[in-house]
Structure 1
Amino acid sequence: MKKNLGKIVLFVLLLFLPLHAEKLASYTMTMSKKEAFVKEAVEIIFQAKQKNHATHMLFFLKPKKSNDYKIYLLEKETKELSYHNSMTTFRYILFPLKAKKITVAFNFTIKTASDQAVKQAYIADHDDSIAINMNKKNIAITPLILQAKKLKKDVDLVGDYTLHTKIDKQTINQYESVNLFYRLQGEGYNEVNLTLLPKIPHITQFFETDHDSLKLTKDGFFTKQRFIYSMSAKKDFTIPAVTLRVYSPQKNSYYRLQVPSYKIKVKKIPIATLLDKEEYPQTKPLINLEAIKHFFIYILIFLTGFITAKISENIPIRKEKKKQFQDIKESETPKELIILLLNNYRNKDIDSFIEQLEKLEYKGEGNFKAIKKDIIGRINPE
């Protein structure tokens, strides 16, 4: 009898827990496709909506880690439909990494706070350093199942891409280098360790890559990636052609990205041109005419500088004024210009301009460009 009673209590508890969660909020979770190829983008949308309208409610969703996939948050959007009635939508992009049946699990948490708790947090401390007292509840949700399929062919990329190349020169000498640029652009799975050229024997080779743009979309990562190679050698060599094998999920097709090879001509430099033709040691003259010439040049430079300094003591330097006025021209707001005038032009007659700028800043009265022009005219009437 006791054994049967225990089973009944457990059954009631299992029924009660999901019902209690349903009283707090309702939620839905969908996946853009149930089958996908390895490294194909799959969109997951989770939406939670508040049902209990007695408190403030926040929703949190975090995917569980797995070696079977990579998953990224694309967007989280929260809407206040009405007072104590919020709805949050999570959009994730998942890339399966293994050809198998994949389980995608999430941790879903609901946090609630009463009006009194929110009020207390803001009133008790003006610096907002007191956290809101919230109740936390973890909700068990059913994992998603994705069937990941193996591609029929080996590929280097999954997505839709273009590849272009540019070379700065194809003839160099033995002490120069040739610079080669590749640009990969498109949308799909982001291959972090992608390289285009192998190590070429007897070639000194440097390589780096960077992203001009990398942005997550519902179809994968949109990328503009540059591959930069610098090469030098002592004799002629060939930079091999580049071929990338790609699968496009959008078109359900396999294709290739190809750029041509380059033949590099290396010109030898005669050894004689690298040798210094002057003979050493040289016979030193009794009088160093070069040193005497430098001495008189230094004296001339000193006297010229001294005379110029004396003459220019009482002459205003227009270049400096121009530089000072440039800071007035480049001021972007009336408030910024007020501070500039008080700091740099306090000895000028600027009181009337300060008043004009204050009216413009706080009342919107006046024209900023016209005031700046008048200020420059007052400071420099020439």
Structure 2
Amino acid sequence: MKNLGKIIIFLTFFISALNASVVASVDSSTITRGEMVTLSLKLEGEDIETPNIQTVCGEDVISTNSQTSIEMINGNFRKNYVLSYKFLPQKSCVIEPIAVNIGGKTEYTKKISINVETQKVTKDSPFILTLESSKDEVFVGESFEVTLLFKQKNNATAVDSEFVPPNLQGFWIKNESKPERFKDAEYTTTKVVYTMAAQREGMLKISEAKMKIALRSHITDSWGSWVPQIKWKTYFSNDLEIKVKKLPAGIELVGDFTIDAKVDKTSINPNEAVNLSIELVGLGNLEDIKTLKPSIDGVSIFDEKVEVNSNKLTQKIAFVSDKDFTIPPITLRYFDPQTKEIKTISTKEFKIDVKGVENKSEALNIKRQEVPDNETATSTSENLPFLWAVLIFISGILVGIVIMLFKPSINKDTNNGFDIKDEKKLLIKLLPYEDDKEVKELMNKLEANIYSAKKEPVDKKALKELIKRLGIS
């Protein structure tokens, strides 16, 4: 009896081993590029180790599913497992044999060939995606437009959709229009326009865009029942190649521009700011312009950050001086791709009058009145009382200066003879020390407080210590 039991157990394991199997299949072995394929593994046997499959045909598995069924054959029950893996092959490939451990034994599937055909677009296609470029050849930085069109046949229905934009590496995206939709007798079309510029020379490629469409479909399950499902299909656009040429030597701007500038005043008090507003308009690589700040001897100049909005660049610059000065023309050189010429544009110059400034040239030309020799002695004697008055006046001034030097400061906000609340005067006095890190931080705060709506708090205690350290008077 003991031997009979052993025999029965042995036969049970032997029969189970005989029934162990793994079969691989696909829902379609020939597809059009963009269609999804489902790989199914049907496993039979006991103690099955589920395989860990992350990629199929070199493509990532998009989703997985599993089913369990029980069959009765000749009065015996048998459990089956079906594992499903969805993937999107981009080219023809072969699914190599897959190893599965069943009951301690390794079973292998047979290899499966997948044939991927090129997606053909016809006038009757339910969905059409295209890319169009306004130019095939451009210069570095030159603006051009790429138009994306997605057409959906009026009688085509989609459960869901997902757009994958083209790879635009090597290009600046200057602007992206809002989607524009219009309808004709056959299609509903969505249009998006990208304004772009190439970053470097060479043959640059704009890869295809993708539109993933979810469609209603159905499958037959293990019991032969009809089961509705959602099936995704990807539609591809064409790709584009753009030849990019380098600019002439010494030129960084390309396009067609106009420039204008204006000041808020032409007559100021000493150390009062004059604000210059610059506006540069045109299609081109405006984003390459960092600043339009000029250089003027004896004038402190503070420039705000350049702002670029679509095809317009603006910048504000403040000028501070205690004497008359001239704001020179702001000049730009650029390459016009239409005429193939290097062009120059300029603003006009602005002469700024600073009130209360003495005209030294006239003072130097004052002539001394000639006095006859016979009147010299008389004049000298008559001027003696006047000279005494002048000496007394100068002495009074010197005494006053001495008193002021030893007199303690009355206003706690006043340091070394000037009011630290006067941010404009303080900024002027700090200019010679702008290489000092602490001074530079303080100057940035003062500039923001004086020339913009932004207000930065200034630590008065730290300010007094800084002025003392620098010996500013």
After TM superposition, the score normalised by the length of structure 1 is 0.51
Q: Which residue of the other structure, out of 103, 109, 118, is the alignment partner of 2:211?
A: 109
More strand by share: 2
Distance 2:287 2:126 in 1: 42
**Residue 82 to residue 204, structure 1, CA distance change in 2 (3 Å):** same
Q: Is the 8 A contact 2:330 2:347 kept in 1?
A: yes
Within-5 A mapping of 1:45-194: 45-50=147-152, 53-56=155-158, 58=161, 60-70=163-173, 72-81=175-184, 86-114=188-216, 136-191=232-287, 193-194=289-290
AA aligned opposite 1:49: K
- CA shift for structure 1 position 145: 0.9
Question: Relative contact order (C-alpha < 8 Å, sep 6+): which is higher?
Answer: 1
Within-5 A mapping of 1:148-297: 148-191=244-287, 193-208=289-304, 214=309, 221-223=310-312, 225-267=313-355
Q: Secondary structure at the match of 2:254?
A: strand
Higher alpha-carbon Rg: 2
**Aligned residue for 1:16?**
117
Q: Is the 8 A contact 1:25 1:52 kept in 2?
A: no
What whole-Å deviation, never above 9, does each CA across 1:255-301 have from its counterpart, x for those lacking one? Answer: 1111244444445579xxxx9x9x999xxxxxxxxxxxxxxxxxxxx
State the Cα RMSD in Å: 4.3
More helix by share: 1
What whole-Å deviation, never above 9, does each CA across 1:122-159 have from its counterpart, x for those lacking one? Answer: xxxxxxxxxxx975444455531111011224335332
AA aligned opposite 2:146: I
Residue 34 (1) aligns with residue 136 (2): yes
Structure 1, unmatched stretches of 5+, are: 1-5, 116-132, 215-220, 282-382
- CA shift for structure 1 position 88: 2.8
**Aligned residue for 1:292?**
none
- CA shift for structure 1 position 41: 1.9
User: Which of 179-188 and 71-80 deviates more?
Assistant: 71-80
Q: Is the 8 A contact 1:174 1:266 kept in 2?
A: yes
AA aligned opposite 1:243: T
**Aligned residue for 2:369?**
none
**Residue 8 to residue 16, structure 1, CA distance change in 2 (3 Å):** closer
AA aligned opposite 2:191: T
- CA shift for structure 1 position 34: 1.4
Distance 2:92 2:276 in 1: 74
**Residue 109 to residue 243, structure 1, CA distance change in 2 (3 Å):** same
Q: How many residues align?
A: 244
**Residue 262 to residue 138, structure 1, CA distance change in 2 (3 Å):** same
Distance 1:9 1:175 in 2: 77
Q: Is the 8 A contact 1:154 1:245 kept in 2?
A: no
Distance 1:202 1:134 in 2: 74
Distance 2:154 2:272 in 1: 73
Distance 2:174 2:210 in 1: 16
What whole-Å deviation, never above 9, does each CA across 1:234-263 have from its counterpart, x for those lacking one? Answer: 344443321101222344332111124444
Distance 2:168 2:355 in 1: 56
Distance 1:155 1:71 in 2: 20
Structure 2, unmatched stretches of 5+, are: 1-56, 58-90, 95-111, 218-228, 359-396, 408-473
Distance 2:338 2:251 in 1: 16
Aligned-residue sequence identity (percent) comes to 26
Q: Is the 8 A contact 1:101 1:147 kept in 2?
A: yes
User: Which of 57-66 and 155-164 deviates more?
Assistant: 57-66
After TM superposition, the score normalised by the length of structure 2 is 0.42
Q: Is the 8 A contact 1:59 1:88 kept in 2?
A: no
Distance 1:197 1:174 in 2: 21
Within-5 A mapping of 1:342-381: none
Q: Secondary structure at the match of 1:63?
A: coil
**Residue 172 to residue 77, structure 1, CA distance change in 2 (3 Å):** closer
- CA shift for structure 1 position 179: 2.5
Q: Secondary structure at the match of 1:226?
A: strand
Distance 1:14 1:142 in 2: 21
